Amino acid sequence: MRVMDRLKFYIDGAWTDPVSPSTLDITNPATEEGFARICVGSHADVDRAARAARAAFAQFSRTSLEERLGYLRRIIEGFRANLQELGRMMTLEMGAPITFATERQATVALFHFEEAARVLANYRFEERMGPGIIRREPIGVCGLITPWNWPLNQVASKVAPALATGCTVVLKPSEIAPLSAMRLAEIIHDAGVPPGVFNLVNGHGPTVGEAIASHPEIDMVSITGSTGAGIKVAKLAADTVKRVAQELGGKSANIILADADLPAAVAEGVYACYVNAGQNCQSPTRMLIPRGERAVAFDAARAAVGSIRLGDPLDPATTMGPLVSKAQFDKVQALIQTGLDEGATLIAGGVGRPAELNRGFYVRPTVFGDVTPDMTIAREEIFGPVLSIMSYDDEEEAIGIANDTPFGLAGFVQSGDRDHALRVAARIRAGRVYLNGAPFDRSLPFGGYKQSGNGREFGIFGFEEYLEVKAILG
């Protein structure tokens, strides 16, 4: 395969060379072969981008609602025209099956631009309140740090509301899967967004990410990543009193109540856990079942795993691709072994690559049963296709287990009685709770409690993260 070179950064409306070029190979996780190269940046590159964004903010922050709607609509048109290409790019860079990459990864990213345009069209930036006026104004230059597991979704969920509100942007996509974000930069450029409004610098977290978090010209930093990375960013941002929005780790519980259709709920929970090969921060990785239903649940989980098709992610029939990298593969393998060592019952999968695949970072879809709350696999975010089934004696115990975690990103409740599910959902300490397999919704807020972060993304809540509130009196 010919190596694709994408060695420039997008700064001040043009693709420019790094200050000190240093290349990094991008590996296709299905073949373990490098297929592209990028440059990784430095503090100097971030400084150039931040200063360009600061200069552009003076004018862009004063653009009219109609002007910004025009930019968003042209980005949406360009995104739609390139949807298939963007999906294929994500398949190559992070291993998502091509159907999933197009219909979910790329399409959901497009949704965020559409949603930002919808919110902007009807948003009241100024209103009277008592004796004064309340204005909502763009916060300024926004540093955006995004992950590899949803390379465009998380970029779009930040970039779209930032541009819609009149902010300017310095983006650091993941250095593991940066190519789809670079293609988006070309779409933004072609949409006529003014120079300096959107900037992209590739690089590692300890260099480019930390430079963004600490840069005095950046007013806000939004990060999606691990809890450890979020803590580091918050500490660096504190010296310049930036606003910090964080969407971090998760260890979501899926409570299957006694009045649910257990086999159907278990199968649905398995598939939900394995979305994106389990590389999903809100995955329901802890399945809670009534203790007396152990055998039925195990059989249902085993059958669901048997219907999953691993293989070449470019094959439309594939339902699960590889993990993103060898480092992620090794981490997940180690945690599967830990589950065995600590005494969990292996229901499906296990250590090692699937027998039919001799290359690629593929992990066997794995289910453990008889998992107890103190086990490592019940407490750590695994970020791979590994499900822990835990038993409870009564509803109070189930809710207690669900909340016994430092995380609080999402929760799931399955019940034959919606009101019953609602009562349980109200007691789960998490930022989003899905009832009975409810689908994703782009308009409702997404974000975490506890160590899963702060701030919200999506819809009007994500939009207002990028606004300051000003009171005018007299």
pLDDT in tens, 388-408: 999 999 999 999 999 999 999
Mean pLDDT calculated for residue range 273-280: 98
pLDDT in tens, 450-461: 999 999 999 999
Q: 216 and 288 in one domain?
A: no
The model's pTM is 0.97
Instruction: Determine, yes or no, domain membership for 89.
Output: yes
What DSSP element (H or E) covers 10? strand 9-11
Three-state SS for 224?
A: strand
Q: 456 and 385 in one domain?
A: no
Cβ–Cβ under 8 Å, residues 288 and 397: no
pLDDT in tens, 63-116: 999 999 999 999 999 999 999 999 999 999 999 999 999 999 999 999 999 999
pLDDT at 314: 98
CATH number, position 421: 3.40.309.10
pLDDT at 354: 93
pLDDT in tens, 131-158: 999 999 999 999 999 999 999 999 999 9
Range of the domain at 309: 253-441
The span from the CA of 176 to the CA of 35, in Å, is: 12
* Exposure of 69 in the CB half-sphere (CA atoms within 13 A): 10
pLDDT at 161: 98
Instruction: Determine, yes or no, domain membership for 446.
Output: no
Q: 201 and 58 in one domain?
A: yes
Instruction: Determine, yes or no, domain membership for 127.
Output: yes
Query: Could you give the number of structural domains in the chain?
Result: 2
pLDDT at 440: 86
Q: 87 and 145 in one domain?
A: yes
Q: 427 and 278 in one domain?
A: yes
Q: 241 and 284 in one domain?
A: no
Instruction: Determine, yes or no, domain membership for 274.
Output: yes
Report how far Cα 88 is from the mean position of its chain's Cα atoms.
18
Q: 288 and 186 in one domain?
A: no
Q: 261 and 243 in one domain?
A: no
pLDDT category at 464 given cuts 50, 70, 90 is very high
pLDDT category at 373 given cuts 50, 70, 90 is very high
User: Known catalytic residue: 396?
Assistant: no
Strands (E), 206-354: 220-224, 243-247, 253-256, 286-290, 345-348
Q: 171 and 156 in one domain?
A: yes
Q: Which two tokens stand for residue 100?
A: 């999933």
Q: 369 and 223 in one domain?
A: no
Q: 160 and 39 in one domain?
A: yes
Q: Point out the catalytic residue in the list 210, 247, 381, 464.
A: 247
Instruction: Determine, yes or no, domain membership for 136.
Output: yes
Instruction: Determine, yes or no, domain membership for 145.
Output: yes
Q: 469 and 426 in one domain?
A: no
CATH number, position 33: 3.40.605.10
For the cut 60, the answer to whether the pLDDT of residue 409 exceeds it is: yes
Instruction: Determine, yes or no, domain membership for 330.
Output: yes
- Beta-carbon neighbour count of residue 103 at 10 Å? 13
User: What does the DSSP assignment read for 348-379?
Assistant: E--SS--TT--SSS----EEEES--TTSHHHH
Instruction: Determine, yes or no, domain membership for 376.
Output: yes
For the cut 90, the answer to whether the pLDDT of residue 355 exceeds it is: no
Q: Point out the catalytic residue in the list 281, 381, 457, 464.
A: 281
pLDDT at 1: 56
Mean pLDDT calculated for residue range 231-255: 97
User: Known catalytic residue: 281?
Assistant: yes
If we measure between CA atoms, which residue out of 153, 180, 195, 176 comes closest to residue 52? Answer: 195
Three-state SS for 171?
A: strand
pLDDT in tens, 23-40: 999 999 999 999 999 999
